Amino acid sequence: MIETKRPKLELLGGEFVERIVDEGLTLLETQGVMIENAEALRLLGDAGAVVDRASQRARLGRKLVEGCLASTPSTITLYDRSGEKAFAVGGDEVHFDPGSAAVTLLDHDTQEERKATTADLVDFYKLVETLEHIHFQSTGLISSDVPAEVSDCYRLYLGLCLSSKPFVTGTFRVEGFRPMKDFLVAVRGGERELRLKPLAIFDACPSPPLKWSNLTAQSLLDAARAGIPSELISMGLTGATSPVTIAGTLVQHVAENLCGLAICQVASQGAPVIFGGSPSSFDMRKGTTPMGAIETIMIDSAYAQIGKFLKLPTHAYMGLSDAKVNDPQAGFETAMGAVLGALSGINVISGPGMLDFESSQSLEKLVIDDGICAMVYRLLAGIAQRDDPIALDVFEGFTPDMTFLSHPHTRQWYRKEHILAGLVDRDPYEAWVAAGRTSIVDKAHADVRRRLGKYDAPPLADPVRKEIDKIMAAYARSSGVGRLPVWEL
């Protein structure tokens, strides 16, 4: 059989990639990076970086950075809650997760954004648990009915109760790391077990240009020491917090992320790291950060290509839209990002469900986007030979009136070759009218209700559940938080 080609997108030529990396390394050496964390500065200094404690500035030499790159694993295996299902985060494996840390939910009935509550987060987790083409969960919504002091760890706690998928998450406060790690350790049954079978990725964003804050540097240190993969999310805004040219932003991206990678490696050599990001073309009229802009998508594809050149797992925020409702803009921005991200072979693609500049989630959009992901996976599977000869046998005994519908060949291959329509409308016009002229958004809404109705909580061992309940309650108490919301499995 002829080998099936995996479709691929590469925006940069080899020389360009090397040049950008070279300038990124030079930037680290000459200008350096501000790091607002004394321990990270000290560790980098001990490893040979030129550190000015007063200005909190570290200049990293090439040898240091190259050494750090050499010790960073080029692939990470993430496991589900049970520890049985493994997901390769590396090579050209593609996994989608819902865009994270949204503060509002698009309410289908009112078509307005409203502050998300714990009840919404519960529905979100349940829904994503049922979506076949979204392999990872993310702590995608922030409950407004939970005090800020515990909101980062509460959303992870809730998610672990409701879902068996691996998690993309992160801390909002330095203090949040400890309980979040404790949940993961409890689920795995030990620190060593967690290290061997990571269950969650912790996102950390440098502050453009060229700075790692105390919170995010601390997250890198803590995660590295626990063997928890850190996803580096450089997020330059072209012409505002990074150079206006795409290539210029890529240089900054390399510098910021490699500094983050170095912090991880000096804390714990061999720490798992993902070369990720959420940069954007900055809108020079509105002063906003369009995630659906084609330039944003291009920056993402290109920095991921650079990440692969550096032999690192990759991530991007793609497959999302800046639209405020599920309209054509939401459709095309999401689809373009999802397709181009997948063709770029990006390992973790954060985006499905997301609207309004990464601030809103929509359950209906999650379902629609799952359909987009289904199309993407079909595309990645490429065109296979299937049969040898390809078609000549099918034409055996050809007569002009032969049909293919009843042919055994058709029956044998049609389900493997063509995916199901899902929610996509393929009715003839009259049938569509007769069925009520339903839009895909309305169909998605009905599908959300159906899925939530069918949701069955993946079993979690009683002692484990009790343990994480205990950890959550203790943390809430110690943070001065009274009551936590009541919710149902």
Partner 1 sequence: MIKDELLRSMNEAIVAGDKAAAVALAADAVRSGADLLEVIEKGFVTGLQKVGELWEQGDYFLPELISSAEAMKVAMAVLEPELNRKKIEARTGGKVVIGTVEGDIHDIGKNLVASMLQAGGFEVFDLGADVKLERFVEKAEAVGARIICLSALLTTTMTNQKRLIGLLRDRGLRDKYKVLVGGAPASRKWADEIGADGYAENAVAAVKLVRTIAGRD
| Span from 126-134, 240-248, 256-264, 462-470 in contact with partner 1 (CB under 8 A) | 240-248
The residues, any chain, with a CB within 8 Å of residue 460's CB and separated by 6 or more, are 81, 160, 161
Least CB distance from residue 357 to partner 1, whole Å? Answer: 8
Least CB distance from residue 324 to partner 1, whole Å? Answer: 13
Q: Does 110 engage in binding with partner 1 (CB under 8 A)? A: no
Least CB distance from residue 284 to partner 1, whole Å? Answer: 4
Nearer to partner 1, 252 or 314 (CB): 252
Q: Does 103 engage in binding with partner 1 (CB under 8 A)? A: yes
What Rg do the C-alpha atoms of the chain give, in angstroms? 24
Least CB distance from residue 222 to partner 1, whole Å? Answer: 22
Q: Does 164 engage in binding with partner 1 (CB under 8 A)? A: no
Considering only 13, 30, 110, 287, the residue that binds partner 1 (CB under 8 A) is 287
Pattern of binders to partner 1 over 198-227, x per CB under 8 A?
---------x--------------------
Q: What are phi and psi of 95, to 5 degrees?
A: -130, 135
The length of the chain in residues reads 489
Q: Does 240 engage in binding with partner 1 (CB under 8 A)? A: yes
Q: Does 239 engage in binding with partner 1 (CB under 8 A)? A: yes
Residue with tokens 């829904």, as numbered in its chain: 127
Site for partner 1 in 55-84 (CB under 8 A): none
The helix-helix angle for 38-46 and 246-267 (nearest 10°) equals: 80
Q: Does 238 engage in binding with partner 1 (CB under 8 A)? A: no
| Span from 152-160, 235-243, 303-311, 444-452 in contact with partner 1 (CB under 8 A) | 235-243
Q: Name the pairing type of β-strands 167-169 and 33-35.
A: unpaired
Least CB distance from residue 154 to partner 1, whole Å? Answer: 15
Q: Does 241 engage in binding with partner 1 (CB under 8 A)? A: yes
Task: State the maximum Cα–Cα separation within the chain, in Å, rounded to a whole number.
Answer: 86
The residues, any chain, with a CB within 8 Å of residue 37's CB and separated by 6 or more, are 212, 213, 214, 217, 218, 221
Nearer to partner 1, 164 or 288 (CB): 288
Site for partner 1 in 143-162 (CB under 8 A): 148
Nearer to partner 1, 103 or 452 (CB): 103
CA atoms of 41 and 262, how far apart (whole Å): 11
Considering only 1, 15, 30, 285, the residue that binds partner 1 (CB under 8 A) is 285
Considering only 104, 265, 280, 344, the residue that binds partner 1 (CB under 8 A) is 104
| Span from 6-14, 37-45, 238-246, 420-428 in contact with partner 1 (CB under 8 A) | 238-246
Buried b (16+ CB within 10 A) or exposed e, 208-242: bbbbbbebbbbbbbbbbebbbbbbbbbbbbbebbb
Cα 411 to the center of its chain, rounded Å? 37
Interface contacts to partner 1, rule CB under 8 A: 103-104, 115, 148, 207, 239-241, 244, 284-285, 287-288, 359
